Structure 1
Amino acid sequence: MATKRPRLTPTPSVWVDAPDNILLRLAAYLPSSGDRIRMSFANKHWSRALRGEGQGRPPQLPLPPPLLPCLIFPSTEAPTFFCPIDLMSYPLPLPRAVRNARICGSTEGGWLVLALDARHAHALYNIYSGNRITLPRGLRITEVKIDLPLVLRAATLSYSPSYSPRGRGGYMIGAIALVGRRRCPAFWQEGLENWITPDPEDMWTRRRLQDVIYCSGAFNFLTTAESLVTYTPVLKGDNNELSMLRYDYDMVRRQDYADDLLFIGGGHGSMVRYLVPIGGWLHMVVRYIYNDGGTGVLRVFRFELKPPASYGRSFRGTWVPVKEFQGHMLFVGPACSRSIDVAHFHGFEDSTIYFPDDCFFPADTQPAADNRRWYSFVDMGRYSLFDVDSIDEFWPPKDRRPERSDNAPCTWWFH
């Protein structure tokens, strides 16, 4: 009779629960964001350690050098991301529900703002951990106390949910929302059952909101007319109820604004505007998209304040042209533009703007499944303010990016 052999229990690897300082030291030798991302996907412990959220076992080393944002190419079937360090593309494993969602915002720590389906469902999703935070479906108009369904078009966060400072009520989301056929500002904070908008006038305004960013303690909204409106969160009443303090700047038109109106009115193309903080100053990037050739020029303007025109009037604001921004490069996108210090990244130059494609294919293009429109990944590249006559259309390389998406525009992935 054969002797029954005992079952051997595999010895667990010492790397599964390796000390944080060892993992951080290893990660410091991986300059490619693609390599670090794959390392963080190994298990939850490694992911927390690389994001600085681990146990901090002594002796704790400083976090590895920062990573440049990657560019996500969404797809319902095979999403990918592009790493700007090694110029390579990699598969991005995402659950089916996330692949089907439309990404409408992103922030540090690997968080995405998702529009999940046509039934007004939205959520925050973390790429590293898979954590999901459900967001409300409705917008509460505080003055009249009615709720309306909304669709987020672009959303930004005051702080990353991973690094939200304590004692400030947690992070907030400020968004450009579509309610009916009108765009309006919408806000949400942890604990709120609905999105809020502070003033019914915002629901029916004819100003077309184009971008939003959080800067200097306030959510800043930019219109297609280059007006700037800020909303500052404040607590009111005995119950510390959240309210948004609105301020409209009396804008002074920049000198060549009329020329831009002729560019659009003459049928030459369109303009897209992005808000981005650079060195503590709020800036506007204007992108000129020609009908016959795509993006041709990008210009940068700094927001500056002027004294009120008369007693009792608002402070006046104006956009001042900027020829360079020393020490910084820009990664622009709807509600998620960032300025990054070039000193941390060898081979990158300041006064350079990296811009993705965030437009639809023409309306007459054959629709994707479920009658969805296609998003284009064609008009994107790198632009230098020092070489205004040239756009590098081969960033990312054309053989390392798809031409289109069946559900969402490309989005920056901030680590």
Structure 2
Amino acid sequence: MAEPPPWADGLPHAALREIVRRVPCAVDRGSMAGACRSWRARLADLPPPPPPLPWLVLPSGGSTRFYCALSGCVHHYETNAPPHGARFFGSHEGAWLFLAFNQNTDHELVNLRADRTFLIPDKYRLQQDGPLAAAHDDMVILAAALSSPPDQGKCVGACIISRWPANVPTLRRFAFWHVEFGGDADAYDLMPDPDPTPPHLQVEDVLCYQGAFYFLTQGEHIRRCEPVHDAGGDLEVLSDVWFFQREGRNYDGLVVQARYLVVSRDELLMVVRLTCGANKPAAAFRVFRALRPVQDVEEVADEDGEDNQVAEADDQGEEIEYPWSWGELDTLGGQMLFVGRGCSRSYKTAEYPGFEDGIYFLDDRSFYDDHCVCERQYPCSNNGRWTQGPPPNIELYFPEQGPSDHSPPAWLLLYNRPYAKALPLDMVREISRHIICDTERVRTLRVCCLVLSDPGARAIQPQLPWLLAASTDGPLLYCLNCGSGGNGTTHTTGAPMYVHTAYHYGAYDGRWLFSTLENGDSVMVNLLTGSRQRLPIEITYRQSGLSYPQKILAATLSAAPDSCRACIGAAIVRYVHPSVKPILTSHFGKVGRETATQIALFRLGDEIAVDPLSAINSPIFVEADDITFYNGSLHCITPDGQFVLDNVDHWKHFRLKYELDGRQPLPDDKTPGCHYLVESRGELLVVVRYYSGAKTARETETFRVFRMIIPEFHVNMGDHDFCICTHQPSLDGRMLFVGRGCSRSYELAQYPEFKDGIYFVDDQSFYDEHIMCHGGNERVYPCSDTGRWIQGPPPNLESFLPGQGSSKTSSPVWILP
């Protein structure tokens, strides 16, 4: 291996220690460790980074991104992307994110690192209702908090809710639920109905502290609710109200925009956010701590003899109606406060060199606006930091951010765990390298506060593709690294909601997914980052000036979409030309077809693709089976030939000639079903798939693999040149994953627990015009013919989805790492 650069060991240890101390972000330290082996070894001996600060979850037009305050609000990729299109309403330590997939329904608690999900009720009932009573009403959750980590027993959730539909303005109520039974039960609301609660007791924020939930109200009082479980395990809540000093606090003419509760140094603090007017940006903050000046407590009974509220007595025994008070803090006293409903947290400034006391805030102006949830216009520009001192003392983050149509910003609370001391760091890294699955490896690394970007923790072999299969509950990802197909581990997609109902027709490296949405738009979606790229929905002939709607059946790219190289897209498309009769030749096309497949080229961002094969106003239908970029050229295979496009103006058609070893012709004992192109070991392979059974109910029977010998390309070649395809008697230690536009080859030597074979998906709908080009009610995609073929005597086919029925949204596809 190369020697470390001379400056790596020359830096004094004290200087390196001081540099590292000023790089508090664990992700940035992982990048720093990648500079060289010397730094990586020396960093392992230095103190661990401080506890992570919350990440800002900021939705935008095409994606939802994370921004790290420790890195100067740099965008990080070190976790799964949250589902773009969902509404976020809080967080809990450990990268748990509260969200509503459909704005007003489908509330869930999702872990963005550990790949776990808990359902949250969409309905609530009054506490006095019996367990068999019907749920009282639908609810929309606006904020939530947990009593403990959700994967621990007897975890209780508390939430601030609004009724749905909100036909008239309603008070903010609160409810509780069992987290482990969230999907099978309703939440319980403590308030009686009709609700007599005065507006000054309407809740604004919720916080869990020492096993009890504290709700801050508009009148700056606190409802304390302690969840308990009876002998039968049923949830009960003991509640009382802490009344603070009378209303009418003077905020120097400013308007209260929000109030938050946060625990700091074992004290309850109230943070008041002030503004110059309704819907105006934050102008100032004031911080108060809860004070209880007297000690003697007496219970006061109302006229009915029932306990009504807690009053206290001073030294003379006189009642004080509001025994609690708020004492304003002159300074933050070495604290950084991150405020957000249900998830406010306090951090010691001294642990973060280069930082100063301040309040970090989000744009949550939509909390009191019912129209935001209905009309989906959430302001997102008023996020930032407030510091004590003379103006200007507010620094905004991303002030140019426009409103979102699905969610306000949110905090993501991360892990706060010390480094593991039982194992040496190098041993932990070595263990993680032997865990094939990225998702499982991340779980291991998080135990020791390592990050995936740490070069010493990367896996010893490349990732294998994931299998994406549609289901009634949304797409499921089957991880082949963790098991075989449908018997393996499923991972959550972190995909936007619109992906759940989309048709998927391919993938590209880096977890890019090609999809057609319900509205007909074709897009590329990244399941890691949530980024989205539009694809053309029309096609034109070269220089014709006319364009026609198209349906993309398969697609691929010449390079990664975010690489510095020019990225060209290619697709197999189907459409009906409205006025020109297709030109059908003996090389390609089927006489009598109203529609047929064509090749389309495009650049990312283009609205119209170009047909490179056709003359002006003369479409040529090629009946393509597969496409791929190989050695800088686009290759397209048909049942009897291959097109090679050197560029848009130069293309060539070769006839395919299949041979056994020794130039013997291939026996005509089977009829090919479809063809795939796979680049492997620097060569281009043709994988031929054979079916058994009738066309409407056929299943995969076997495969044959051929090595393609492509003649040297030049423009003046004849029209009848042959491309020789030599049969390969074995896979020679390879695993081939075949899918149109996304076939890949992997070396078996890197995966000792696997066998060489061909992994395939059910893509029979590719040839069915009634599925691909007609209305949604007619779209029934077969999915069960998905699995693995191994060379040898039958049975040599393993089905991954044997019980999978047809899907109304999409065929299965591979997701490439």
TM-score in terms of structure 2 length: 0.41
* 2:652 corresponding residue in structure 1: 247
Does 2:570 align with 1:156?
no
CA distance in structure 1 between the aligned counterparts of 2:429 and 2:612, rounded to whole angstroms: 44
1:2 to 321, 324, 345: 324
Q: Secondary structure at the match of 2:749?
A: helix
Q: CA deviation at 1:221?
A: 0.4
Contact 2:507 2:815 (C-alpha < 8 Å) held by counterparts: yes
* 1:68 corresponding residue in structure 2: 464
Correspondences of 1:235-314 after superposition (within 5 Å): 243-252=648-657, 254=659, 259=668, 263-264=670-671, 271-291=673-693, 294-305=699-710, 313=718
Q: 1:353 to 1:282 in 2, by over 3 A?
A: same
* 2:625 corresponding residue in structure 1: 210
Q: CA deviation at 1:392?
A: 2.9
Q: CA deviation at 1:156?
A: 1.2
Correspondences of 1:10-409 after superposition (within 5 Å): 10-11=346-347, 13=414, 28=433, 30-36=435-441, 50=452, 61=456, 63-65=458-460, 66-75=462-471, 77-87=473-483, 88-90=488-490, 91-117=492-518, 119=520, 121-162=521-562, 164=563, 166=564, 168-169=565-566, 171-180=567-576, 181-190=595-604, 192-201=606-615, 204-225=619-640, 227-233=641-647, 243-252=648-657, 254=659, 259=668, 263-264=670-671, 271-291=673-693, 294-305=699-710, 313=718, 315-350=721-756, 352-360=757-765, 370-385=776-791, 387-394=792-799, 396=800, 398=802, 402-409=804-811
Contact 2:493 2:527 (C-alpha < 8 Å) held by counterparts: no
Q: CA deviation at 1:34?
A: 4.5
Contact 1:383 1:390 (C-alpha < 8 Å) held by counterparts: no
CA distance in structure 2 between the aligned counterparts of 1:228 and 1:39, rounded to whole angstroms: 47
Structure 2 letter corresponding to 1:194: I
Q: Secondary structure at the match of 1:347?
A: coil
CA distance in structure 1 between the aligned counterparts of 2:775 and 2:712, rounded to whole angstroms: 54
Q: 1:136 to 1:380 in 2, by over 3 A?
A: closer
Structure 1 letter corresponding to 2:596: R
CA distance in structure 1 between the aligned counterparts of 2:775 and 2:609, rounded to whole angstroms: 31
Q: CA deviation at 1:312?
A: 5.4
Contact 1:139 1:186 (C-alpha < 8 Å) held by counterparts: yes
CA distance in structure 1 between the aligned counterparts of 2:325 and 2:674, rounded to whole angstroms: 76
Q: CA deviation at 1:198?
A: 2.0
Structure 2 letter corresponding to 1:210: D
* 1:237 corresponding residue in structure 2: none
Q: CA deviation at 1:360?
A: 4.3
Q: CA deviation at 1:397?
A: 6.3
* 2:55 corresponding residue in structure 1: none
Q: Secondary structure at the match of 1:259?
A: coil
TM-score in terms of structure 1 length: 0.76
Contact 1:76 1:96 (C-alpha < 8 Å) held by counterparts: no
Instruction: Tell me which structure has the larger Cα radius of gyration.
Output: 2
Q: 1:397 to 1:291 in 2, by over 3 A?
A: closer
Contact 1:174 1:187 (C-alpha < 8 Å) held by counterparts: yes
Q: 1:199 to 1:145 in 2, by over 3 A?
A: farther
Structure scoring higher RCO (CA < 8 A, sep ≥ 6) equals 1
> 1:246-279 CA deviation, whole Å, 9 max, x = no partner?
122244354656726xx55xxxxx6121111111
CA distance in structure 1 between the aligned counterparts of 2:793 and 2:443, rounded to whole angstroms: 37
CA distance in structure 2 between the aligned counterparts of 1:183 and 1:228, rounded to whole angstroms: 14
Structure 2 letter corresponding to 1:2: W
Q: CA deviation at 1:193?
A: 4.2
CA distance in structure 2 between the aligned counterparts of 1:404 and 1:15, rounded to whole angstroms: 44
CA distance in structure 1 between the aligned counterparts of 2:654 and 2:505, rounded to whole angstroms: 27
Q: CA deviation at 1:220?
A: 0.8
CA distance in structure 2 between the aligned counterparts of 1:307 and 1:147, rounded to whole angstroms: 34
Structure 2 letter corresponding to 1:272: C
CA distance in structure 2 between the aligned counterparts of 1:245 and 1:278, rounded to whole angstroms: 25
Structure 2, unpaired ranges of 5+: 1-322, 330-336, 338-343, 348-412, 420-424, 577-594
> 1:172-207 CA deviation, whole Å, 9 max, x = no partner?
211101121231100111354421122424963343
Identity of aligned residues (%): 24
> 1:364-415 CA deviation, whole Å, 9 max, x = no partner?
99xx994042222222222223x15332324x264xx733322111111111
Q: CA deviation at 1:14?
A: 6.3
Q: Secondary structure at the match of 1:35?
A: helix
Contact 1:277 1:283 (C-alpha < 8 Å) held by counterparts: yes
Q: 1:258 to 1:146 in 2, by over 3 A?
A: farther
CA distance in structure 2 between the aligned counterparts of 1:154 and 1:189, rounded to whole angstroms: 15
CA distance in structure 2 between the aligned counterparts of 1:338 and 1:191, rounded to whole angstroms: 26
Q: 1:331 to 1:37 in 2, by over 3 A?
A: farther
Q: 1:348 to 1:102 in 2, by over 3 A?
A: same
Q: CA deviation at 1:212?
A: 0.8
Contact 2:541 2:619 (C-alpha < 8 Å) held by counterparts: no
CA distance in structure 1 between the aligned counterparts of 2:416 and 2:652, rounded to whole angstroms: 53
Q: 1:195 to 1:207 in 2, by over 3 A?
A: closer
Q: Secondary structure at the match of 1:205?
A: coil
> 1:314-372 CA deviation, whole Å, 9 max, x = no partner?
6531111001232321011122111011222221133x11112122499999xx99404
